[in-house]
Structures are given as C-alpha cells and as structure tokens.
C-alpha cells in the first residue's frame, strides 16, 4: 500500500518533459525508476497520479478520482514478494470453513467464538487494505467510494452472522484487484528497454591522445572514434570514410546506408565495417536518439486514462445505498406500530449485503480478462483491460511499412537480363560475386541464386563503398551494384533502369551492360487482407508512414489499397503526423515494429507492436502486441474488443436488474438472507459464467 507521502516522493523522481524541451533530456533524467512509472497505462479502476505534467491538458482534479483513491493500492513498488499469498490463504480458510459448516454434527467445536475467529482471520487477510483505504479516504472528503461500500457490506455480513459471505465478497474483490495489478505491472516497464540503447562511453581523440569519456563530457567539435560493430554515440559529421551504417534504430529500415565524408551521422546508428571518425555536432542531450527517448517519455505521460465503470458509478451508487440503508432503520420508527430496532437493523444489513457490487467487481474485470485471454489465444496480447475499450472505439489506423505490412526481409523480386544475356548465366555470375559481400542486398541475391553459383571461381574482389562490387568471375570482369557503379566505369545502360523504384543491382560483364535484378521487401501474405478487413470494420482512415524511400512506400500502399502514405520519415516526422490526426479528434491506433516506432506507439490512443520481428523497446512500449506478426490480427483484436464490451454490459444490467428487485423486497422484509446471497453471490456466479463465455467465442 502506498501512502500519500510515498506517492509524492515517487512522483518527484520523474522528470518533466515538454514538447519545447524534448531534446534537453539527459540519461540521468531517464532513470529506470522514472521509466518504470506506470503513467499512461492505467487499467480501469486504478487511478495513478500522472508522473509528468501534461502539456496540452490540465491534470485531473482530485475529485475526479473520488471513486477510487490510489492510496489504498500499490502496484508493485511496495508489494510483498508474493501478492497472491494472503488471498490464497484466505481462500483455503474459506473453503475449509464451508466444509466444516456443512458437517456441524461431525465437528461440533466449529461454533461460536471458534467459528468467528476462523472466518475473521480469513477476512482480515484480504479485507484490511480495503478497510484502511476507506478510512484513509475520509480526510480528503472522498467518503462515498466502493471501499466504504465493500467495508460496510462485509462487516454487516459478519454482524448478522453470515461470516462466509463477508469473506467471500472481500476475497472476490481482492482477486479482481490482483488481475488488474498484473496488467499494470506489465505496463510499468513501458520504456525501460529504450534506456539501454544510449551509449555509456565515447572514445575521443584530443591532442593526439585517445580518451574514453562519458557522453555528457564530450564537447561540440570533438573528434570521436567508432569501432566496427559499435554504436555511434553522438550526432556528427563523418571525417573518415566512406562507411556503411545500420540505421534501424532511427529509421526502422533494414537496408544499411553508406555515408561519405562530410555527411551527417546520427547517434544510434551502428558502424558496420571499418574504424571511422566523426566530428561531434550535437551534445549528448540534443542527439536524435535522446529526442526519441524524450518523445516516448512525454507521449506516455499524455495518454488518457480510462476509469472502470464501477469506480465512476460508485460516486452516485454508494451514497444512495448507504442513505437508503439508514432510512430502512430510521423511517419505520416513525411509521411502524411495533418497531423493533434489531429487526430493522437486520433488514438494513441485508440491504447492504444485497447492494454490495460483488457481481460487478468480479465479473467486469473477469469479462475484460476473458477478452484478453481470448485475444492471447489468437496471438494478440492486450496489456490492460482499458485498451479493449479503446480498441473498439478507434476510427484511424496508422501503420509502419517494413516489418509491419512487409516481411522485413529483402528478396529478389525481378531478374531482367539484357538482350543476348541468358538469365541463368547472369544469376550465376552475380550470385558468385555477391557471395563475397555481407550486405543485406547481396545476401538476398545469394539466397535467390542458391546452389547455381557454387564452385564458380571468383578473384580480385573489390568492394567500392556506396557503389557495389567489382571482381573477376571465371576470368571475366563483373560489376554488380547501383547505377553509380556503372557510371564510374563508363558503362552505358538503358535510361529506363533509372526509373526502377525498388532497390536495384545493375550488372555489367566485361564493361558491357548485362541486366539488373530488383530487390525489395515483399508485403506479408495477409497485408492486403488486413487492409480490406479494417475498411469493412469501420476504420475510416488508413495511413502508412515509413522511413523508406517515398517511391517504394507509394508502390506498396497502392498494392495494398492504402490511400494515404508518406515516406522518407524520421521518428519525429511520424510523431508529427500522428499528433495531427489526434488533434483533429481521431481515435487512433499505430502499428509498428522498430525502435524508431516506440515514440509513436506510445503517443497513439492504442499502440500496437509486432511481437515476432518487433524490437523489445517497441513491444514494451506498446499497449497491444501482435505475437504472430500478422497485420490481419488488428481487425481480430477489434472483434474481440466488441464482444468483450457486449458481455461486460450484459453483466452490468444483469447485476443491477436483479439487485433492484431484491433490494425492494429486502426493504419490505420480504427477502431473507437467502435472497440476499442470491442477489450477491448468485448473480456474481451468473455474471462470471457469462464472462467466461468470451473464452469460447470464435473470432
């Protein structure tokens, strides 16, 4: 349990992030403790105070959360090692007590004080936190909440001798809270993985000496060295080169980029080959990578909260029920001739037991988690029950391209030999030469050629950075690379080659143009199906955002039937587009897989990550994870969300309908404790059975 002082201390550890200073965030400010705070991933019924000020909306006033104070519930920070221990012990005591009650003649000692103490221990194990929360909420004016109703109803059950009922109601409530806590604790790690991306030390060349410094100690204009396979620690200008870099951390695209001397290199890129030097142009806190981390932190803080229905309703329901219970005791004193206080107290306590929201407290979270379970079997992971609600409400889906709608793996798409050149011979020579390179495009060519190039003699291979390969293949000079390679060796080629959209490997044999191969990332098998299903499911706006070449992005979008697509984007560009859609009032889901997608995933109403190929950072930041990497599962997730919503509201109307009838009977003395038990536990069991039904639905 977290008291208010602990909460304030926890909030003080989180650093403020605003749009105007998203670049001014140091690694110290992005500590794992701050990153682990659960803001932005609240599940219904768990009102976490926002750890970061929201730049475009005022923090909720305390009275807006009157239904469910956070003081009574901690979510991992101060919990015992096993939060299920005491509820488990309470459950065992309850079951054993029920068995002993069933055989009164065989166990005559289980009466009176022994029976009271037995059930009392079972009750205290699960009820003391709720009772303490009810008491602690009084000074703040938050009196009428579900904590008070649960406390009065269960203590009332003990007062009239229905000990098992009091224990069962509180135990069911506690189990529902544990279900919610499990989802919250998963979401606490939302951006922790991103912290591991930033470099912790930098090799700096100063005055002819090599120094190893912390990134924050590096100054503008310093020359830093980056070894092969190492990550670029700071933004800078390449001083030695050319060099190839893996840019996936920033663009999400798997194709390496070749940088020439004088071109910009960004923190987060990985140097693929030789040792390089670069001149620092941005301090540690102003790098592109630091801004990505800051955007994630800021976007998580700006997520809207979804409160559980019973929490909101408790502000009205609880005081009415308590007031009516008091009236059941008081009013008959003035109108009944044979008024007996004990009789009307008994009726009032029955009234409270009937009115206890056990069916709602158990069946609502169970309904949501039934939906989560059904989604899990379909390969979809929801990190909280509130995201089922939001998923049902979205009208816009924005998707990344590579790894989300496409396979994320390069493959040869087309082989176009020049007139007079056999395709088999072209592939044989090119495959043998490309086997000497580790470039992803070269590897795609080798995989396509297969065994046809085995045993081919290759000599004098030269890799020309930014151009391609040159070598002697079976005694013939073969050039394989981009069109700049052919231009470098004065090899003429047809003009239509320059119009090819996909990545291209142009080939020349003995300085004569011999043809080309196109290499591209093919769409996933169900990508077009995903687009069709989303449109049919009421999604009014579908958008593709990608860091890949715009020409490729437009071609893939046209192939899949997506009307709006944008390419050549950095993470902040994607975030800008998404923010525009959100500002226009759209309910938006973003689907991505790369580290670069993490800020936008956090910013969206629902962030969806591809769990198979997706980066750990994006998966941790996302609200929903598609474990099978199938984009068609997005529409499946919406169907599950709608079914869950339907079942949950069926339970709500069932509970209130039955309770309304039995409450009236109880106030008139026509309902006994048996009816009270049915109205509470019986309706709860019916609601639970209805919630479990979600697990058997076909989606």
Least confident of 232-236, 336-340, 343-347, 356-360: 356-360
CB atoms within 10 A of CB 220: 12
Asked whether 269 and 232 are in contact (CB, 8 A), the reply is: yes
Determine the Cα–Cα distance for residues 425 and 448; give it in Å rounded to an integer: 14
Determine the Cα–Cα distance for residues 672 and 678; give it in Å rounded to an integer: 10
Q: Regarding predicted confidence, which is higher, 600 or 197?
A: 600
Determine the Cα–Cα distance for residues 181 and 187; give it in Å rounded to an integer: 10
Q: What is the DSSP string of 247-297?
A: -HHHH---S-EEE-TT-EE-TT-EE-SS-EEEEE-S-GGGSHHHHHHHHHH
Mean pLDDT to the nearest integer, 661-669: 72
Confidence of residue 528 (pLDDT cuts 50, 70, 90): very high
- Please provide the size of the chain in residues: 699
- The pLDDT > 70 percentage for the chain reads 73
pLDDT of residue 362: 62
Provide the β-strand partners of residue 518. 414, 504
Pairing of strands 512-523, 503-509: antiparallel
Mean pLDDT to the nearest integer, 382-397: 85
Q: Regarding predicted confidence, which is higher, 642 or 83?
A: 642
Determine the Cα–Cα distance for residues 477 and 385; give it in Å rounded to an integer: 63
Residue 62: which residues within 8 A CB-CB, separation 6 or more?
Answer: 140, 142
Lateral strand order in the sheet of 202-206: 209-213, 202-206, 223-226, 276-280, 236-238, 264-265
**320's tokens:** 């009415």
Cα distances (angstroms) measured from residue 29 to each of 35, 297, 378? 9, 10, 38
Mean pLDDT to the nearest integer, 675-691: 71
Residue 484: which residues within 8 A CB-CB, separation 6 or more?
Answer: 466, 467
Show which residues are catalytic. 400
Determine the Cα–Cα distance for residues 524 and 529; give it in Å rounded to an integer: 10
In 368-502, where do the E strands start and end? 380-382, 396-399, 406-417, 458-464, 468-473, 476-481
Mean pLDDT to the nearest integer, 407-424: 87
Mean pLDDT to the nearest integer, 287-301: 54
- Residue 335's H or E segment, with its range, is helix 309-335
Residue in the structure block whose two tokens are 């030390």: 201
**319's tokens:** 């005081």
Determine the Cα–Cα distance for residues 134 and 155; give it in Å rounded to an integer: 13
Residue 36: which residues within 8 A CB-CB, separation 6 or more?
Answer: 188, 189, 192
Cα distances (angstroms) measured from residue 404 to each of 43, 508, 532, 592, 637? 27, 35, 16, 6, 16
Average pLDDT, the chain: 75
Least confident of 257-271, 306-320, 360-374, 516-530: 306-320
Dump pLDDT digits (tens) for 556-583.
Answer: 999 999 999 998 887 788 889 999 999 9
**515's tokens:** 């043809």
Interior/surface letters 436-446, b for 16+ CB within 10 angstroms, e for the rest: ebebbbbbbbb
Residue in the structure block whose two tokens are 């709500």: 652
Confidence of residue 635 (pLDDT cuts 50, 70, 90): very high
pLDDT at 340 over 90: no
Confidence of residue 181 (pLDDT cuts 50, 70, 90): low
pLDDT of residue 667: 62
Our CA angle for 635, 641, 642, nearest 5°, is 95
Provide the β-strand partners of residue 607. 590
Cα distances (angstroms) measured from residue 414 to each of 11, 514, 525? 57, 14, 18
pLDDT of residue 387: 82
Least confident of 163-172, 349-358, 575-584, 604-613: 349-358
Using DSSP, state whether 76 is helix, strand or coil: coil
Provide the β-strand partners of residue 472. 459, 477
pLDDT at 117 over 90: yes
pLDDT of residue 36: 32
pLDDT of residue 78: 42
pLDDT of residue 456: 87
Residue 525: which residues within 8 A CB-CB, separation 6 or more?
Answer: none
Mean pLDDT to the nearest integer, 514-535: 90
Residue in the structure block whose two tokens are 């800008």: 576
Dump pLDDT digits (tens) for 217-272.
Answer: 888 999 999 988 888 888 899 998 788 887 765 555 556 778 888 888 888 788 88
Provide the β-strand partners of residue 415. 517
Asked whether 634 and 623 are in contact (CB, 8 A), the reply is: no
Using DSSP, state whether 586 is helix, strand or coil: coil
Mean pLDDT to the nearest integer, 648-670: 78
Dihedral angle over CA of 614, 616, 621, 623, nearest 10: 50
Dump pLDDT digits (tens) for 60-105.
Answer: 333 333 333 333 334 333 444 588 899 999 999 999 999 999 888 8
Confidence of residue 288 (pLDDT cuts 50, 70, 90): low
pLDDT at 646 over 80: yes
Residue 187: which residues within 8 A CB-CB, separation 6 or more?
Answer: 38, 40, 41, 43, 383, 384, 623
Determine the Cα–Cα distance for residues 668 and 51; give it in Å rounded to an integer: 50
Confidence of residue 23 (pLDDT cuts 50, 70, 90): very low
Residue 238: which residues within 8 A CB-CB, separation 6 or more?
Answer: 259, 260, 261, 262, 263, 264, 265, 276, 277, 278
Phi, psi at 225, each rounded to 5°: -105, 140
Closest CA to 184 of 37, 53, 381: 37
DSSP 8-state code for residue 231: B
Mean pLDDT to the nearest integer, 145-158: 76
pLDDT at 142 over 70: yes
Q: Regarding predicted confidence, which is higher, 601 or 478?
A: 478
Number of H helices, E strands in the chain: 23, 22
Residue 31: which residues within 8 A CB-CB, separation 6 or more?
Answer: 13, 195
Closest CA to 681 of 648, 665, 653, 658: 658
Determine the Cα–Cα distance for residues 77 and 619; give it in Å rounded to an integer: 22
């Amino acid at each position: 349990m977290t008291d208010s002082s602990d909460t304030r201390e926890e909030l003080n550890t989180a650093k403020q992030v605003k749009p105007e200073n998203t670049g001014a965030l140091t690694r110290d400010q992005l500590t794992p403790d701050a990153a682990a705070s659960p803001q932005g991933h609240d599940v219904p019924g768990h009102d976490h105070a926002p750890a970061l000020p929201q730049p475009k909306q005022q923090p909720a006033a305390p009275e807006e959360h009157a239904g469910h104070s956070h003081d009574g519930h901690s979510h991992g920070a101060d919990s015992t090692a096993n939060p299920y221990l005491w509820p488990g012990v309470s459950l065992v005591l309850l079951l054993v007590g029920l068995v002993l009650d069933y055989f009164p003649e065989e166990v005559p000692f289980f009466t009176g004080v022994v029976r009271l103490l037995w059930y009392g221990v079972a009750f205290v194990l699960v009820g003391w936190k709720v009772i303490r929360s009810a008491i602690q909420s009084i000074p703040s004016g938050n009196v009428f909440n579900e904590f008070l109703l649960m406390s009065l109803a269960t203590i009332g059950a003990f007062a009239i001798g229905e000990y098992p009922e009091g224990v069962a109601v509180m135990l069911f409530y506690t189990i529902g809270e544990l279900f919610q806590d499990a989802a919250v604790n998963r979401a606490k790690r939302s951006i922790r993985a991103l912290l591991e991306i930033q470099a912790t030390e930098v090799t700096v060349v100063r005055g002819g000496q090599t120094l190893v410094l912390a990134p924050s100690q590096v100054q503008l204009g310093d020359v830093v060295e980056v070894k092969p396979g190492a990550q670029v620690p700071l933004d800078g200008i390449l001083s030695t080169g050319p060099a190839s870099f893996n840019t996936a951390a920033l663009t999400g695209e798997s194709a390496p980029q070749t940088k020439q001397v004088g071109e910009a290199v960004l923190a987060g890129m990985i140097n693929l080959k030789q040792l390089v030097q670069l001149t620092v142009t941005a301090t540690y806190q102003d790098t592109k990578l630091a801004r990505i981390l800051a955007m994630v932190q800021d976007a998580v803080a700006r997520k809207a909260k979804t409160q559980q229905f019973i929490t909101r309703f408790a502000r009205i329901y609880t005081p009415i029920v308590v007031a009516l219970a008091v009236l059941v005791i008081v009013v008959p004193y003035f109108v009944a001739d044979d008024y007996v206080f004990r009789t009307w107290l008994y009726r009032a306590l029955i009234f409270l037991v009937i009115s206890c929201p056990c069916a709602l407290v158990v069946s609502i979270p169970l309904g949501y988690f039934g939906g989560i379970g059904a989604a899990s079997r379909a390969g979809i992971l929801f990190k909280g029950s509130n995201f089922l609600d939001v998923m049902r409400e979205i009208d816009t889906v924005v998707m990344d391209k590579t790894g989300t709608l496409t396979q994320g793996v390069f493959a040869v798409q087309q082989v176009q030999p020049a007139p007079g050149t056999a395709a088999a011979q072209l592939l044989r020579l090119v495959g043998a030469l490309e086997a000497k390179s580790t470039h992803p495009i070269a590897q795609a060519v080798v995989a396509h050629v297969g065994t046809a190039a085995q045993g081919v003699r290759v000599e004098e291979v030269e890799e020309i950075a930014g151009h391609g390969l040159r070598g002697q293949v079976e005694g013939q000079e073969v050039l394989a690379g981009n069109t700049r390679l052919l231009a470098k060796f004065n090899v003429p080629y047809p003009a239509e080659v320059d119009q090819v959209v996909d990545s291209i490997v142009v080939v020349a044999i003995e300085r004569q143009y011999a043809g080309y191969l196109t290499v591209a990332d093919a769409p996933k098998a169900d990508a077009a199906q995903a687009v069709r299903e989303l449109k049919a499911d009421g999604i009014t706006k579908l958008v593709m955002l990608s860091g890949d070449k715009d020409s490729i992005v437009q071609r893939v979008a046209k192939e899949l039937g997506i009307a709006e697509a944008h390419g050549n984007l950095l993470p902040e560009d994607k975030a800008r587009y998404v923010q525009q859609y959100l500002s226009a009032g759209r309910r938006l889901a973003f689907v991505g897989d790369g580290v670069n997608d993490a800020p936008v995933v956090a910013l969206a109403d629902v962030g969806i990550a591809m769990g198979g190929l997706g980066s750990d950072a994006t998966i941790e930041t996302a609200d929903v994870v598609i474990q099978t990497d199938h984009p068609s599962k997005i529409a499946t997730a919406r169907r599950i969300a709608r079914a869950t919503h339907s079942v949950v509201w069926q339970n709500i109307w069932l509970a209130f309908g039955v309770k309304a009838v039995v409450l009236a009977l109880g106030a008139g003395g026509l309902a006994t404790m048996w009816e009270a038990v049915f109205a509470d536990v019986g309706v709860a069991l019916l609601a639970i059975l209805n919630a479990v039904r979600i697990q058997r639905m076909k989606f």
